[in-house]
A and B are shown apart, each in its own frame.
Chain A
Amino acid sequence: MIGPLLKGLGKTLEQMFRKPITIEYPERKREVSERFRGHPRLLRDENGRIKCVACHLCETICPSKAITVEPEGGEEMHDKHPREFIVDLARCIFCGFCQEACPKGAIMLNRKYELAQYRRDVLVYHKEKLLEE
């Protein structure tokens, strides 16, 4: 009878000297994989201009209707870009379809994953915010 009890206590003792599996979030943040799908962000090309041409494919493919694109034409005949590009992170399910649909490689999911906010509207990311991400 005493044997199993000691065995149990021994296990406990053993665990006390092991490295813990949990981390002390948010003081410490966990490193995620290279291929992790986090928040979407917009990219710029080598000239610093937004890569997106407002083709609406991401908006169309998005299964949770998180993306809204307002297109706009520029000075040039072939110049088309988004006047507004909105991603509602509260709706986003981080599936990465937008990234796959994008013909220009203009939208990518980064490795950020934090969503906790006091207000929902903070999670509605506009074009500038998406470019900064």
Chain B
Amino acid sequence: MITVTINGKAYQAQPGMTVMEVADANGIRIPRLCYHKALSPIGACRICVVEVKPGPPRPVPACTTPVADKMEVVTESESLAHYRRELLQLLLINHPLDCPICDKGGECELQNLTRELKISDQPYQAAKLTPQYDSQSPLIERYPDRCVNCERCVRTCRGWVGAAALYFDNRGYRTAVTAGGKVMDCEFCGSCIGVCPTGAIIDKTFKYSARAWQLRKQVIVCPYCGGGCHLVLETKKGKLKRVTASFDESVNGGIICSRGRFSLDIVQHEKRLTQPLVRKDGVLTPVGWEEALDYAAERIREIRSRYGPRALAGIGSARATNESNYTFQKFCRAVLGTSHVDSTGALDHQKMLRALVHVLGRPRVAWAEGEGASHRAIREVSGFQVALGTLDDLDRADTVLVVGSDVKKETPPLVWRINQAQKRKSLRELLVVSSRHTRFRSSARWGGTCRPGSSGFVVLGILKALFETGGERLRGLGDFRREEVLRRRLDATRWDLVQDVTGLDRDGMVFLAERLLEAERPSLVVGYDLAGLQDGYDAACYVADLLLVLGKKLKVHLTAEKANTQGCSDMGVSPYWLPGYAPLDEADRFQAVWKTDVPRDPGLPLPAMLAAAAGEGPEPVHGLLILGTDLFGTTLNAGVVEKALDRVPFLMCQEAFLNRTASKAHVVFPARLAVETEGTVTSGELRVQRQKGISFPDGPLEDWKILCELSRRLGRPMEYLSASEIFSEISGLFPHYDQYALPDIPAEGFWWNRLYRTKYGSTGWRRVLDPSLKAVIPWLELPPRSEKDRPFLLLVSRSLFQSGTLSRYGLGARTLEPRGRFRLHPQDAAELKVKDGDEVRVESASGAVSGPVELDRRVPRQTVQAALHFEDLPVSRLTDGGILRPVRVTRAAADPGPK
């Protein structure tokens, strides 16, 4: 600690802080324009000049001057005010006087500064610059004449987002921020809008719709990916006008992506369902709540009495809150009495969790004995969750290895943290192994191209290399059983095979293994390119084995595509476990709380459930309950889904929109989106955050309320009055969530894998990676290869502007990518004789889809990439539950069309 005197008063400071940081920390206001706390200082505007002693005999910028012990700083004086006024007047030469129409008016830092420094005129004359307005880019408009060249947008775009879409052009007086071409080549996250101190970059969707001071701000957790970003919804008279982010919060630090900023208008979309629908004479007809609930209860009762409870099945939602998912699985298990509960997470994210649970164990707390039940002390915490890292762990990591993930599209906040860590130089090595080239990968220290679908083999290869070259250094890292078996299995797998499958050579694997061993705080990011494979579970087992081998050192970060993918699994929406990952034979504990029988037999996983709904297998499913899920937007084959949904005699959906799944239902209940539901959501880093719930349209109800109403009609009522009541029941059954009552959850949430921190202090517990853990060593299937008559591989990918199928209603997503396209490498396209925009027909063993082509150098050769988000590109006709499928690509015949 050093002492700095500012305006005659002494303050404590850390060495290395700048004068600006010390002043800000102590509430001393220094005028500033180019300085922004989220960005590294550049000292360009010189508005923040201060006088320092000892120091040069002229004012120095506070934002770039580090403090020294016994430094004396003066922030206000006659001459400083004069300097600042002159500087600002020079900036105002070219600034237009269009404050009355500028959207920034009222929250403009330049406007505020002009008033603060009491400037009423601008005495200078200079050659007028001709501004190059940008009105053609989607969603963003740029007014260079309002720009003050503070470089904030450029720094954000480079340092956080990693898009580098903006840069400075020209020199001196003619310096201007430019985007290169007429239209910005960017990710349209709008972070530049957020940092711009003036109205030089504005949100086109908000333009001229309200003034800054009229807006009411409410913080919510973003409903799209599992990053858990905080968004600020700004409403005027109950209508959503724009979405911004606050730089004062810790989860995403003020940076949000294009989905969060531009696609949240779904809350007040005109197609939102507001009335329950019941199928009458084959047509979904709006009816009252009572009628719809009575009808659904009647049908459920009928199926249960005729075929037994196991003829009913439920599909939970990775979009709904924890409380809704918990109530849903309880409804299925306790009220209906069926054990068939699953969610679409089973196709990807849950495979990773299953492998982690299998290898690293379920979350378990061992309590110290001999103390009262109210003050129990924790003796030991174990389970897979201790190996999962948080965003802050990514900040601290010195090596990050990304395997099998297109991180930017799956969970953008992970990328922003990695970019920042790279910029700070705390992250030395960013290593990316992927089958596609991405912008993110080009910023990596080392990028390796593996064959599509070979992520599991990459991890296997790294393990093999670790054992071969690690030697003594591996000792003392991990402590687990069956190490010998694992070693033998890896030795038995020949390098030829690994090299052949992955396309990476042994040296690459050895290099990666070496980096992981050398690193002090390595992090591993795993995503949907691994988990989404048919044998994603087996591949994820090797990830878990890698965690065993490297022990406590390695943190793993799972990407999560939807806001509550993680929470959905936590709440027991899975046939493999009860809430809190409790095994099915622990049902007694739940029976005591739920006060009904809980089925102990394992339920059907999602694909089997659909097969049963289609009438196959020994126990056909006759009633399917779906919570906020479009099954046609998953990798499940559309034909299989269609057959199941067409056959099943009773289909109930709780939905916000009438999507393709819901349009096949017999009864549809309008549900509130998670944003509108009070409750909690769990982000991919196990952060449990409170959603306050702001309701937009009248009519929809919370998912859990609908289920409570149904349960009352079915004679086994679940009487919940509020979400906090459900949350406390969850806390009672899953001790890791038992850290706060729902209303007391802090703004930044809590991590459920850090149970000890908040409630119990950090004493008296031991974080263990249990030495009794044993490696699971499945045989990995060889990834699908292209076949003779199907020479291409379909690789299901994601769009940067979309998340699942919910975002397709969003304005941003509709504007930026109005229709789905097949992406092909230009060389492949040339061989097929198709040009950008041409229609192609893609055919797999199960179906064919036609759609336009987009040429993209980042796509690997002999691969066609397509996303599942689009209604007009039903890619799920081609898939069969995994992200890879051999296909044939041909130029579309004379009669094209998506059908």
Q: Which of A13-21, A71-79, A117-125 contacts B (4 or more CB under 8 A)?
A: A71-79
Shortest Cβ distance from B103 into chain A, in angstroms? 9
B133 contacts A by Cβ under 8 Å: yes
A55 in contact with B211 (CB, 8 Å): yes
CB neighbours of A80 from chain B (8 A): 101, 208
Within 8 A of B (CB), among A60-76: 60, 71-73
Whether A78 contacts B101 in the complex (CB less than 8 A), given A56-B214, A60-B213, comes out as yes
One digit per residue, 1 when the CB lies within 8 angstroms of any chain A CB and 0 when it does not, for chain B 143-186 equals 10000000000000000000000000000000000000000000
Whether A104 contacts B100 in the complex (CB less than 8 A), given A56-B214, A77-B133, comes out as yes
Shortest Cβ distance from B664 into chain A, in angstroms? 41
Ranked nearest first, the 6 interchain pairs of A and B with the lowest CB-CB distance are: A55-B100, A73-B208, A80-B101, A56-B211, A103-B100, A80-B208
* Chain B residue with Cβ nearest A77: B135
A55 in contact with B208 (CB, 8 Å): no
CB neighbours of B207 from chain A (8 A): 73
A93 contacts B by Cβ under 8 Å: no
CB neighbours of B101 from chain A (8 A): 53-55, 78, 80
CB neighbours of B135 from chain A (8 A): 77
A55 in contact with B213 (CB, 8 Å): no
A57 contacts B by Cβ under 8 Å: yes
Tell me the bound Cα distance from A104 to B105 in angstroms. 15
CB neighbours of B211 from chain A (8 A): 55-56, 60
B210 contacts A by Cβ under 8 Å: yes
Chain B CB within 10 Å, residue with most, of A55, A57, A103: A55
CB neighbours of B99 from chain A (8 A): 55, 103
A71 in contact with B208 (CB, 8 Å): yes
B98 contacts A by Cβ under 8 Å: yes
Within 8 A of A (CB), among B446-478: none
CB neighbours of A71 from chain B (8 A): 208-210
17 additional A-B pairs beyond A56-B210, A77-B135, A78-B98, beta carbons within 8 Å, are A53-B101, A54-B101, A55-B100, A55-B211, A56-B214, A60-B211, A60-B214, A71-B208, A71-B209, A72-B208, A77-B141, A77-B143, A80-B101, A80-B208, A103-B99, A103-B100, A104-B100
Query: Looking at the complex, which one of A57, A72, A73, A77 makes contact with B100 (CB distance below 8 Å)?
Result: A57
* Chain A residue with Cβ nearest B214: A56
A residues near B (Cβ < 8 Å) are: 53-57, 60, 71-73, 77-78, 80, 103-104
Number of interface residues, chain B, beta carbon within 8 A: 16
CB neighbours of A103 from chain B (8 A): 99-100
Shortest Cβ distance from B242 into chain A, in angstroms? 14
Tell me the bound Cα distance from A103 to B97 in angstroms. 11
* Chain A residue with Cβ nearest B209: A71
CB neighbours of A54 from chain B (8 A): 101, 208
Shortest Cβ distance from B744 into chain A, in angstroms? 37
Tell me the bound Cα distance from A46 to B133 in angstroms. 27
Tell me the bound Cα distance from A60 to B214 in angstroms. 8
Shortest Cβ distance from A32 into chain B, in angstroms? 31
CB neighbours of B100 from chain A (8 A): 53, 55, 57, 103-104
Shortest Cβ distance from A98 into chain B, in angstroms? 14
Tell me the bound Cα distance from A60 to B209 in angstroms. 15
Tell me the bound Cα distance from A69 to B16 in angstroms. 50
24 A–B contacts from the bound complex (CB under 8 Å): A53-B101, A54-B101, A54-B208, A55-B99, A55-B101, A55-B211, A56-B210, A56-B211, A57-B100, A60-B211, A60-B213, A71-B208, A71-B209, A71-B210, A72-B208, A73-B207, A77-B133, A77-B135, A77-B141, A78-B98, A80-B101, A80-B208, A103-B99, A103-B100
Tell me the bound Cα distance from A25 to B99 in angstroms. 46
Shortest Cβ distance from B600 into chain A, in angstroms? 61
Within 8 A of A (CB), among B195-238: 207-211, 213-214
Tell me the bound Cα distance from A56 to B211 in angstroms. 7
One digit per residue, 1 when the CB lies within 8 angstroms of any chain A CB and 0 when it does not, for chain B 90-107 equals 000000001111000100
Shortest Cβ distance from B843 into chain A, in angstroms? 46
Tell me the bound Cα distance from A78 to B100 in angstroms. 11
Shortest Cβ distance from B216 into chain A, in angstroms? 15
Shortest Cβ distance from A48 into chain B, in angstroms? 19
Tell me the bound Cα distance from A103 to B99 in angstroms. 9
One digit per residue, 1 when the CB lies within 8 angstroms of any chain A CB and 0 when it does not, for chain B 119-144 equals 00000000000000101000001010
CB neighbours of A53 from chain B (8 A): 100-101
Shortest Cβ distance from A57 into chain B, in angstroms? 7
Shortest Cβ distance from A71 into chain B, in angstroms? 5
CB neighbours of A78 from chain B (8 A): 98, 101
Tell me the bound Cα distance from A56 to B210 in angstroms. 8
Tell me the bound Cα distance from A60 to B208 in angstroms. 16
